[in-house]
Amino acid sequence: MSYLNKIANWYFSRKALPLWGILLIDNLIVFVTFVFMYLFFDTNERSFSHIGHVSLNILVYLVFYNVAFRIFRTFSGILRYSSFVDLQRVGYAMMLGSVLSYIFYRIMAALHVGGMLNISGRQLVATMIGGTLALWVLRMGVKMLYDILFASQRGKRTYIFGVKHDGIAIAKHIRSEKPMRFNLKGFATVEKEMDGHVLMGMKVRMADSNLVERMKAENIEALIVSPYRLVEFRNRQDLQDELIRAGVHIYVTQGTKELDNTDQAQPEMLPDLDTAPQLREISIEDLLPRDEILVNMKEVGQQLKGRCIMITGSAGSIGSEMVRQIAVYKPSKMVLVDQAETPQHDIRLMMNSRWPNTEAHVIVASICERDHMETLFHLYRPEYVFHAAAYKHVPMMEDNPSESVRNNIIGTRVIADLAVKYGVKKFVMISTDKAVNPTNVMGCSKRICEIYVQSLDKAIKDGKVEGQTQFVTTRFGNVLGSNGSVIPLFKEQIKKGGPVTVTDPNIIRYFMLIPEACKLVLEAGTRGKGGEIFVFDMGKPVKIADLAERMIRLSGAKNVEIKFTGLRPGEKLYEEVLNEEETTKPSFHEKIRIAMVREYDYDDVCREIDQLYAISKQFADMDTVAKMKAIVPEYKSNNSIYSKLDQ
């Protein structure tokens, strides 16, 4: 066996055989098969006394088979990576070669020429079958030898979570990898009817409480989760924790269609299993439990196609994802506004690379500069405005309330007023759950923004303000992986060896994927009638301390401490999506509800905001926050220097 190993290692460590080498071997196999069948069927002449007769027939036979080999390119593959498709090609080529030979012999017989060309039909069929089997055995034999003696020694011993077409498709692609990274040993499934079956020579095991113990017994090092089973796997936190503790590496297929934001409805934007899957190690974002969110993006796309779209805050986490999702639907123009120069440059490069045929104007500007914004509205005449620009970091705005007023509130007012003046069809403002019963400056500033755009929409409907613009507000919680959010921070802290800082052991937050949130924004924005505050169902809340523990385990890091630092100024233990006095009614989507909130008079709101802005320009923080509390009485500061204003 050691001698065989040496030969195999020598062969497989070399480059693949050249095409002419494979063709030569195939011809040799056909030649031997033909001679064997010729002697077997020609019972009267089992000798080489008729060598000329045999040679002429073999020559004719090989000519037609080489024509067939050329047509189906049976020699273009690499033997050690042979697949079912390669076997199909061989079978088709052998059939075609036999048919061509048979036709040629019959023509020669009909013309009474070529007396030595007289092979029987039985011999032709037998040669075709025997030659096909021999060529199959060659390819599968080399592949099996490579898998057993070479590739299996290098790849990780692996299970696939998911069976039927999805698991099988992944298994086929993995087995054809060059070189092989994974040594497949079995499947795991949640489908009881598949338990105990054998697929591709590997056993299917039930993903029950004993699965990890079985994997340990087989020294399984990796688990690949099918994209069609990711939702089920995500909800099996017990299984995830056991796998992580056992040191099993978990892989998922790269969500290529999610990254490209196609018009599929599935939240995971499932990869095409007809192409080779790109695998990556699982991240904490993949494991957080959440329900499926299905959105009819085709209907959204129909409304946005051919329109001029403006996106403010286009370089931010939400804004940049809005750019990607909307660009797919071929708007006539995209006006992308943000004051962050370097991220805007990245957006420009992305548009030039991925959507070169879309007219995109990437503009570095502040939404607070009315003259500049009016120039943009006058020049491009946007039909839809998605307003994502805002300062969002709670501690920063707690220290800079005047800037929060200027950028968040006044900036929103500038864009909203210009939208009315220049006939924008729909204005969609992106708000936050921190606007509900706010405990910090940032949340209160967003609540005032909500009040302004809602009162403006009502004023238009009541005829107090001339215009046709519909104003829609979307309100949701934290998004996974956004700039400055807790998950990137934890990753960096774990990478440095800790400690991982959590403000309070009991703090909880709601999370949503950025693409999912943006899809809901697009659906709510395009289907809203104006005046609504759409509230997204954020699913189950996540305890941040538990999140930190799972991220540490998932990383494989040892001795990383979790340090509790205390709530930051303005921070609260949990976020709300609705005020206690608010009720909701259902909307067109089960994950979106409409908040029934208090209505405000537009003139009163304008007067209050004017006064607030005048105070904020004095940079008197206490006076500024006091005025914000007067506008939003439910704003009660938490763990903040402004708490004295609530007494």
Cite the active site residues: 434
DSSP class of residue 435 equals: G
CB < 8 Å & 24+ apart, contacts of 608-611: 609/409, 609/410, 609/413, 609/448, 609/452
Write the DSSP string, 170-217. Answer: HHHHHHT-SS--EEEEEEEES-GGGTT-EETTEEEEE-STTHHHHHHH
- CA-to-CA distance for 368 and 241, rounded, in angstroms? 48
Task: Read off φ and ψ for residue 442, nearest 5 degrees.
Answer: -60, -50
Structure tokens, 116? 């030595």
The whole-angstrom separation of Cα 261 and Cα 514 is 12
Distance CA 561, CA 595 (A): 41
Which among 280, 287, 281 is positioned nearest to 241, based on CA atoms? Answer: 287
What are 439's strand-pairing partners? Answer: none
Q: Which two tokens stand for residue 164?
A: 């039927």
∠ at Cα 591 (585, 597), nearest 5°?
Answer: 35
Helix 411-421 to helix 370-380 angle (10° resolution) is 30
Edge-first strand listing for the sheet containing 384-387: 359-364, 333-338, 308-312, 384-387, 426-432, 470-476, 533-536, 592-596, 583-586
- Whether 329 and 301 have beta carbons less than 8 Å apart is answered as yes
Q: Can you tell me whether residue 333 is helix, strand or coil?
A: strand
Distance CA 639, CA 572 (A): 8
Here the tokens at position 131 are 């030659």
* CA pair distance 326, 303, nearest whole angstrom: 11
**Rounded distance between C-alpha atoms, residue 233 and residue 244, angstroms:** 13
Angle at 12 between CA 9 and CA 17, to 5 degrees: 145
Q: How far apart are the C-alpha atoms of 27 and 332, rounded to whole Å?
A: 59
Asked whether the beta carbons of 394 and 434 are under 8 A apart, the reply is yes
Which of 288, 253, 282, 281 has its CA nearest to residue 269? 253
User: Which is nearest to 425 in space by CA: 524, 308, 533?
Assistant: 308
The backbone torsions φ and ψ at residue 320, rounded to the nearest 5 degrees and listed phi first, read: -70, -35
The β-bridge partners of 480 are 513
Phi-psi category of 261—alpha, beta or left, where left has phi over 0 and alpha has psi -120 to 50? left
